[in-house]
Amino acid sequence: MAKTIENLSLLSTRLSEAAKSNAGTSDKLELDGSPLPQNDQLPMQKIIRSLCFMNEILIEAAKRNSDKASKLSPPATATRDPKSKDDTSESFEIDKACSDIKYLIGVFKQLLITSTQNNVDDILGDLNANADNVEWETIKRNLKVLRSNMTKVKAQLPLLHQTSSSTEARRLLTTTSREEASKLPSPYQADGIFEKGSFLKDFQDRYETLGKREKLCLLCFAIFPENAEVSERLLRFWWEGERLRPESESDKKTVNEILEEFVERGFIEPVYKRSGSKGSCYKMHPIVRCLIVRHAKEANFFYYDCKGYPNMEFFKSKKICLVKSEGPSWWSKDVLAFTKAREQAQAQPQAEQGKDKKQAEAETMTKEKRQKQKQKQKQKLEDQERKEMEKKRAALETTRAKYLGNLQTLFNVSKQFPELPEELFPNMKNIDVLYLGRWERTAERHMEVVDVNFLRGLKNMSKLRFFSLQGISGIKKLPNSIGMLQNLRILDLKACDTLEELPEEVGLLKMLSYLDLSECYLLETIPKDLSKLSKLKVLKGFIISSNSPCDLTHLTTLSELEKLSISIHDDKFSIKEEESIKQFSKFKSLTKLQIAWGAGGIKKSADKAKQPEDKNKTSEASKLWPTAKVLEKYLKLPFLGSSKSVPKKGNVTVAAATAKAGQDKNGDNAKKKKSGAVLQSNVHANNKDQGGRSPKSVLQSELKLEKLDIRCYQDKEPPKWLVPKTLTHLKRLYFRCGELSHIPVANRDERWNVETLRLKYLINIKMDWKQVQKQFPELKLLEKVNCPQITFCPCDASGAWELKQA
């Protein structure tokens, strides 16, 4: 379209020159339906001519491509050769390009043939015919007509003359020539792409300063896709399984310290939350990953293809990945299927060359000879193929079994159905890490296993340290052979949504330190033998239900348990009373506790709340009920979020006397005095607690909780032991969902030592920012999500507030 504007400007220039000279002859332009002239003075003619030439070339290319596609043999098309698909797609694209070019040719011709070119011819004719006596009035009228037609032509063009050249959205895309494409090689395929700059040298210096263990830890990022977010949890488990974490006392770097070192050196970068706070995931820049893949190839740390993607190729490394693939692979039950596919792909061109000769010979033979020869050839070929296939199969199976016997790590990167052959799975006798589950944090990739019989081969994996089935559906029960994993440290069964039962053989895993059963919603019972895991430090997803043979009392034998996550499915279990904390105090090493109420406990509690009260209550309790209702607003303990002040003794005494006077009107003086004495004693006890003396703390010296997470709490009143005096070591306090009405304190002088407070989906808690600061003076991070009655907090749009230190 820019050429069209240039052509029109050239025509106007010729008109101005003709008007000045008033002499000379010009060839008349004939574009009104007649063939194009031979001279190429006008750019518009060059455009139309070049477009016609391009159209002819593309049509010839399309014909050649179609002829090539028609020559393909029927077997090649039956096997769905990818090259044939590419040819058809190429011919389709050529046809589309030809139709577009034809359309452009028609548009360019219409823009000039209809009116504009005729106007120019008329004006030039007038100038040439009357060179001495020019009729300027006629020319002026024709020029007005020409300008009017030009305006109409401009209206049909894009508004490029009204836009700036810097507008990226209106710029046309440019094709890339073969020479330009060769100048942009893939960073994974070009050897000298980084050698020219200083980046590679700087990277090598930083990489060489790492220790041997740290280098292997960094190479773990190479198998993940570009810009993938890898959780710290996964890396910690993997490094534990690979024995990459330092075990010597002189070098006790934690996983977080190693990751922070990688961040400081620029190898990885943390992923931040919406609130701006640092998350628990890390990712690697694509350029850094390219260099890390190079080092991984040199170290034989998994196998990668030419594009930097991990591959399932056997015999290349002692570590192998499971990736999404089509067709047979080295994991196929019949290993010859994979090798045959390769041989057929290589032998296909040779078969096409000899096809014509075989057809010519076959046509000259009679039907009888053909049948006899076919039968003989078939028998010979079948016998030869059987012998050769048996030899190849035996050799390949032996080689494959030997390779699997030396395998150290099997990691599922992108395979959706990680069901391995039952014949091959037991061969992995020396494997350390078996990660079949989902590594992504989101559940976008559905994973399922149809037949779980292959898991029986776990009995041979005595050296296995890390086993993950995270996010895999179709597993109802683990096989009993899991008890043979005597060296297993980490068992990850998170989000196995079809898991219904754990075998009792789990108790035989003496070295197990981490067990994750969270998000296993169909799991209702826990075997009693779980209490025999003396090395267990983290237990997530422990079920408390009426049908489960294992309860909290059995877990008290786990002396090394540091983190416990509980899911309550029993409405009879309660943590409201002070006695409930005694069960948790028996865990000597427990520092992190999460309690969540599941569907069973919530439903039963709700049904219980709807039941009518028992009619067979004592008459004395019914008579005391009106008095208790009167004193209810006076006898409440002070709590965070309450704007009411605590009444003094005098006010309570007056209220008690008023209630007593109301009872005197009903008669029965003996019962009145008795109830009055009970009320006076209750009031005295409450006043004693509210007068600055906190109630006796419950085993505060034995409780070492640093993190408490309570979810879906069903009572409005908090547990009685949930006070600062009891939880002196608490640094992180989380409440999520539930009916909780306030965060308690025993008296006005008590303060929490909590540094991180997370409140989510709590509609009953009423408090403001001043009260938060008063009760949590050590607060450094506050997260508030969907808590409408918690007001005036200086949180950002995501509901987070963080203390900024100078």
Higher per-residue pLDDT: 23 or 69: 69
* Alpha-carbon gap, residue 301 to 317, rounded angstroms: 7
Res 601: pLDDT: 53
Confidence band (pLDDT; 50, 70, 90) for 145?
Answer: confident
* Summary mean pLDDT of the chain: 74
Question: Could you tell me how many residues make up the chain?
Answer: 806
Q: Three-state DSSP class for 292? A: helix
Res 335: pLDDT: 56
Residue with tokens 């020219």: 196
pLDDT above 50: residue 28: no
Confidence band (pLDDT; 50, 70, 90) for 376?
Answer: confident
Q: What is the CA angle 632-635-639, rounded to 5?
A: 105
* Alpha-carbon gap, residue 645 to 633, rounded angstroms: 11
Confidence band (pLDDT; 50, 70, 90) for 546?
Answer: confident
* HEC-encoded secondary structure of 681-720: HHHHHHHHHHCCCCCCCCCCCCCCCCEEEEEEECCCCCCC
* Alpha-carbon gap, residue 253 to 260, rounded angstroms: 11
Q: Looking at residues 751-773, what average pLDDT do you find?
A: 94
* Alpha-carbon gap, residue 78 to 348, rounded angstroms: 13
pTM beyond 0.75: the answer is: no
Percent of the chain past pLDDT 90, that is, above it, reads: 36
Residue ranges with strand state E in 250-374:
269-272, 278-283, 319-322
Q: Three-state DSSP class for 32? A: coil
Res 792: pLDDT: 93
Res 577: pLDDT: 78
Res 413: pLDDT: 93
* Alpha-carbon gap, residue 5 to 150, rounded angstroms: 10
Among 380-384, 478-482, 717-721, 759-763, which is the least confidently predicted range? Answer: 380-384
- pLDDT tens per residue, range 314-329: 778 899 999 987 666 6
Q: Looking at residues 467-495, what average pLDDT do you find?
A: 94
* HEC-encoded secondary structure of 152-194: HHHHHCCCHHHCCCCCHHHCCCCCCCHHHHHCCCCCCCCCCCC
* Alpha-carbon gap, residue 382 to 636, rounded angstroms: 92
Angstrom CA distances, 107 to 29, 112, 308, stand at: 18, 9, 47
- pLDDT tens per residue, range 551-580: 899 999 999 999 999 999 988 888 887 777
Res 120: pLDDT: 66
pLDDT above 90: residue 535: yes
pLDDT above 60: residue 704: yes
Architecture of domain 194-301: Orthogonal Bundle (1.10)
pLDDT above 80: residue 428: yes
Confidence band (pLDDT; 50, 70, 90) for 599?
Answer: low
Question: Cβ of 756: how many Cβ atoms within 10 Å?
Answer: 17
Among 306-310, 360-364, 615-619, 698-702, which is the least confidently predicted range? Answer: 615-619
Residue with tokens 């279990």: 573
The two most distant CA atoms of the chain are separated, in Å, by 141
Among 42-51, 136-145, 610-619, which is the least confidently predicted range? Answer: 610-619
CATH class of 405-536: alpha beta
**Cβ-count burial of 632 within 10 angstroms (0-12 exposed, 13-18 middle, 19+ buried)?**
exposed
In this structure, the dihedral spanned by the alpha carbons of residues 86, 92, 97 and 102, taken in order and rounded to 10 degrees, is 160
Q: Are 425 and 453 in contact (CB under 8 A)?
A: no
Q: What pairing do the DSSP bridges indicate for beta strands 732-738 and 707-713?
A: parallel
Q: Which helix (H) or strand (E) holds 605?
A: helix 599-610
Res 771: pLDDT: 92
* Alpha-carbon gap, residue 799 to 790, rounded angstroms: 11
What single-letter amino acid sits at 340? K
* Alpha-carbon gap, residue 147 to 3, rounded angstroms: 18
The CB-side HSE value for 291 (13 A sphere, CA atoms) comes to 22
Percent of the chain past pLDDT 70, that is, above it, reads: 59
**Cβ-count burial of 774 within 10 angstroms (0-12 exposed, 13-18 middle, 19+ buried)?**
middle
Higher per-residue pLDDT: 584 or 757: 757
Res 47: pLDDT: 64
Q: Three-state DSSP class for 495? A: coil
Close Cβ partners of 547 (under 8 Å, ≥ 6 residues apart): 524, 525
Q: Which helix (H) or strand (E) holds 367?
A: helix 367-405
Res 694: pLDDT: 42
Among 48-57, 62-71, 433-442, 787-796, which is the least confidently predicted range? Answer: 62-71
Q: Is the dihedral of CA 682, 685, 689, 694 positive or negative?
A: negative
Res 284: pLDDT: 95
- pLDDT tens per residue, range 88-142: 555 566 666 667 667 766 766 665 555 666 776 676 666 666 556 666 677 777 7
Higher per-residue pLDDT: 581 or 90: 581
Q: Looking at residues 494-501, what average pLDDT do you find?
A: 93
Q: Three-state DSSP class for 359? A: helix
Q: Looking at residues 755-764, what average pLDDT do you find?
A: 95
Q: Looking at residues 365-370, what average pLDDT do you find?
A: 66
Burial 401-424 (b: 16+ CB within 10 A, else e): eebbeebbbbbbbbbeebbbeeeb
- pLDDT tens per residue, range 162-181: 444 444 444 444 444 444 44
Q: Looking at residues 711-727, what average pLDDT do you find?
A: 90
Q: What is the CA angle 308-411-230, rounded to 5?
A: 70
Q: Is the dihedral of CA 345, 347, 350, 352 positive or negative?
A: negative
Question: Cβ of 635: how many Cβ atoms within 10 Å?
Answer: 20
pLDDT above 90: residue 712: yes
Angstrom CA distances, 456 to 54, 463, 470, 551, 665, stand at: 65, 16, 18, 29, 79
The CB-side HSE value for 515 (13 A sphere, CA atoms) comes to 27
pLDDT above 80: residue 765: yes
* HEC-encoded secondary structure of 471-494: CEECCCECCHHHHHCCCCCEEECC
Q: Are 436 and 468 in contact (CB under 8 A)?
A: yes
Q: Looking at residues 525-545, what average pLDDT do you find?
A: 93
Question: Cβ of 679: how many Cβ atoms within 10 Å?
Answer: 23
- pLDDT tens per residue, range 203-237: 999 999 999 999 999 999 999 999 999 999 999 99
Among 132-146, 557-571, 719-733, 765-779, which is the least confidently predicted range? Answer: 132-146
Higher per-residue pLDDT: 615 or 537: 537
- pLDDT tens per residue, range 630-660: 334 333 333 333 333 333 333 433 334 433 4
Q: Are 590 and 558 in contact (CB under 8 A)?
A: no
Tokens of 548: 């489960």
Among 131-135, 533-537, 611-615, 779-783, which is the least confidently predicted range? Answer: 611-615
* Alpha-carbon gap, residue 494 to 512, rounded angstroms: 16
Q: Looking at residues 623-630, what average pLDDT do you find?
A: 42
Q: What single DSSP character describes residue 310?
A: B
Select from 709, 685, 680 the least CA-distant residue to 695: 685
Res 793: pLDDT: 94
Q: Looking at residues 732-759, what average pLDDT do you find?
A: 89
In this structure, the dihedral spanned by the alpha carbons of residues 309, 315, 318 and 323, taken in order and rounded to 10 degrees, is 30
Res 85: pLDDT: 46
CB < 8 Å & 24+ apart, contacts of 544-548: 544/568, 544/569, 544/570, 544/573, 545/569, 545/570, 545/600, 546/570, 546/572, 548/524
Q: Three-state DSSP class for 558? A: coil
* Alpha-carbon gap, residue 262 to 210, rounded angstroms: 9
